[in-house]
């Protein structure tokens, strides 16, 4: 893959290399924003040279004739009338190889019926005005904690709009804009090598994002996200509840996980539920640090910023809202008719395992959206250098919820070593929903005592 890096980015890398460990947001970026070449959240405001990527004009609220959504979902597809511009198959993939991730190329080579339908690009990310205003206040204060283990001096905005190293890109992804409070009910599926589908169950979640509470100046504690997960089905898992608490600075606090078991009716700390520990309720198909494509501490890898690049990635996948299992799941991969791909600029970060660290992956590559800072694609490699797993996010905006408009968390991971794949956060059931609020969350709901009190018994 051509990993060309712009002159501006190269200059940034040189500056970062000599700036010491505490790296802050630079004044040249402010000048670029003032000139209109960068958005407040660090993306290139202009479109691509050939016009395939349009200029940023404010997000999905600017889309003409946008259907009005009620509370929850499913959400009507504002681009349903569009047809693919072209399709990529194994036969013509060489023509588009420079814009395809190695993971996408691996799937095209492996499955003769795998196809990538590329649609017109829409930059639908939305940021509340107060978050954009915070960017100016944050400009000189945001700092990277030594060894990339956290960030300091930042609140309510993207900490590093023009990142200087791979850790800053990943922290921008961790701290991408999320509504302060959301609750969701969704489905998860696993498709094995033979094509058999396992329903991994119905899950009810709610999460708080103390980092994005309007009017506050700091978080109530060190955790930027509190995420509660409760299994509704299958019967063997019903009532199991997890509470994940993700810190903004791992040198102040490690990730904390509480687990409630209906069998014991007790809540315990579960420090083993992180890094590359397989998730048993998912049949071991993914690890805890693969949730949302990456949700873990970065201390085991060296994260190198490769550069910014135009790539073909899943985007605006409204087909995942209100879809059905039969329409979505193919024998070896998702139904190509159900996945929308677009061309977007992404930040490429390559993580290599540190010599003294242990992890099931030897290398891990991430592709992070320039607008939303969401990880859109990954591939991980085994210790022999072979592609092990291929991951994609399938984002879409839950529009119509004002300042609570947030990208969906739908994602899936292909295990090339086993030949299976899983898909998570799918609104496929009649009772599934996704509702978000811009109001400050009730943080008393995100405690060990609360998950025991609310658990199904």
Residue 6's pLDDT is 35
Bridge partners, 423 (sequence order): 189, 412
Contact predicate 414/107, CB 8 Å: yes
- Compute the distance between CA of residue 53 and CA of residue 239 in angstroms, rounded to an integer: 45
Domain segments of the chain as ranges: 7-178+188-199+290-431
Is the pLDDT reported for residue 66 higher than 90?
no
pLDDT band at residue 401 under the 50/70/90 scheme = confident
Q: pLDDT at position 57, please?
A: 92
The length of the chain in residues reads: 457
Mean model confidence pLDDT for the chain: 88
**Alpha carbons 14 and 53: distance in angstroms, whole number:** 28
Question: Of 126 and 22, which is predicted with more confidence?
Answer: 126
What does the pLDDT read at residue 402?
82
pLDDT band at residue 46, thresholds of 50, 70 and 90?
Answer: very high
Stretch 122-128: mean pLDDT: 94
Q: Per residue in 198-235, pLDDT tens?
A: 999 999 999 999 999 998 888 889 999 999 999 999 99
CB distance 243 to 228 below 8 Å: yes
Q: What is the pLDDT of residue 33?
A: 55
Mean local confidence (pLDDT), 364-368:
98
pTM (global) more than 0.85: yes
Range with the poorest average pLDDT among 24-28, 97-101, 260-264, 440-444: 24-28
Give the pLDDT band (50/70/90) at residue 35: low
Report the distance separating Cα 143 and Cα 221, nearest Å: 18
Identify the residue with better confidence: 96 or 272: 96
The pLDDT value given to residue 431: 84
CA distance 28 to 433: 43
Residue 323: per-residue pLDDT: 79
Provide mean pLDDT across the span 3-27. Answer: 31
> How many CB atoms neighbour CB 230 within 10 A?
22
CA distance linking residue 133 with residue 77, whole number of Å: 30
**Mind listing the pLDDT tens digit for each residue in 420-438?**
999 999 987 778 888 999 9
Q: For 283-332, give the DSSP string.
A: TTSSBGGGGGG--S--TTEEEEEEEEEEEEEE---GGGBS--HHHHB-SS
- Residue with structure tokens 């016009």? 51
> How far is residue 412's CA from residue 408's CA, in Å, rounded to a whole number?
13
Place of tokens 């087909």: 319
């Amino acid at each position: 893959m051509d990993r060309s890096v712009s002159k501006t980015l190269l200059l940034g890398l040189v500056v970062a290399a000599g700036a010491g460990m505490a790296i802050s947001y630079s004044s040249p970026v402010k000048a670029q924003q003032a000139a209109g070449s960068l958005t407040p959240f660090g993306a290139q405001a202009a479109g691509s040279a050939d016009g395939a990527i349009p200029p940023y004009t404010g997000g999905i609220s600017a889309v003409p004739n946008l259907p009005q959504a009620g509370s929850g979902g499913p959400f009507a597809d504002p681009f349903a009338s569009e047809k693919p511009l072209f399709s990529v198959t194994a036969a013509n993939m060489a023509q588009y190889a420079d814009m395809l991730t190695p993971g996408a190329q691996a799937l095209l080579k492996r499955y003769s019926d795998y196809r990538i339908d590329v649609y017109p690009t829409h930059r639908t990310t939305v940021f509340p005005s107060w978050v954009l205003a915070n960017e100016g206040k944050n400009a000189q204060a945001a700092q990277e904690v030594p060894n990339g283990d956290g960030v300091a001096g930042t609140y309510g905005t993207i900490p590093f709009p023009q990142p200087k190293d791979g850790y800053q890109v990943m922290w921008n992804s961790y701290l991408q804009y999320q509504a302060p409070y959301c609750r969701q009910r969704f489905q998860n599926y696993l498709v094995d090598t033979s094509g058999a589908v396992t329903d991994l169950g119905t899950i009810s979640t709610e999460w708080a994002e103390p980092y994005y509470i309007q009017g506050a100046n700091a978080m109530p504690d060190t955790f930027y996200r509190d995420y509660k997960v409760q299994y509704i089905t299958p019967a063997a898992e019903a009532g199991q509840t997890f509470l994940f608490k993700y810190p903004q600075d791992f040198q102040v606090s490690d990730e904390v996980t509480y687990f409630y078991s209906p069998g014991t009716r007790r809540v315990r700390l579960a420090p083993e539920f992180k890094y590359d520990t397989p998730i048993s309720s998912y049949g071991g198909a993914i690890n805890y640090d693969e949730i949302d494509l990456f949700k873990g501490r970065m201390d085991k890898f060296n994260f190198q910023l490769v550069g910014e690049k135009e790539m073909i990635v899943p985007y605006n996948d409204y087909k995942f809202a209100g879809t059905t299992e039969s329409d979505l799941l193919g024998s070896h991969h998702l139904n190509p008719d159900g996945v929308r791909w677009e061309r977007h600029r992404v930040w490429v970060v390559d993580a290599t395992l540190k010599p003294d660290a242990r992890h099931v992956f030897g290398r891990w590559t991430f592709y992070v959206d320039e607008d939303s800072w969401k990880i859109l694609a990954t591939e991980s490699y085994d210790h022999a250098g072979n592609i092990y797993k291929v991951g994609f996010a399938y984002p879409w905006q839950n529009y119509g919820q004002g300042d609570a408009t947030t990208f969906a968390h739908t994602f899936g991971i292909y295990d090339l070593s086993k030949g299976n794949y899983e898909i998570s956060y799918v609104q496929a059931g009649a009772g599934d929903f996704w509702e978000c609020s811009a109001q400050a969350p009730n943080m008393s709901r995100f405690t060990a005592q609360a998950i025991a009190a609310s658990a199904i018994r």
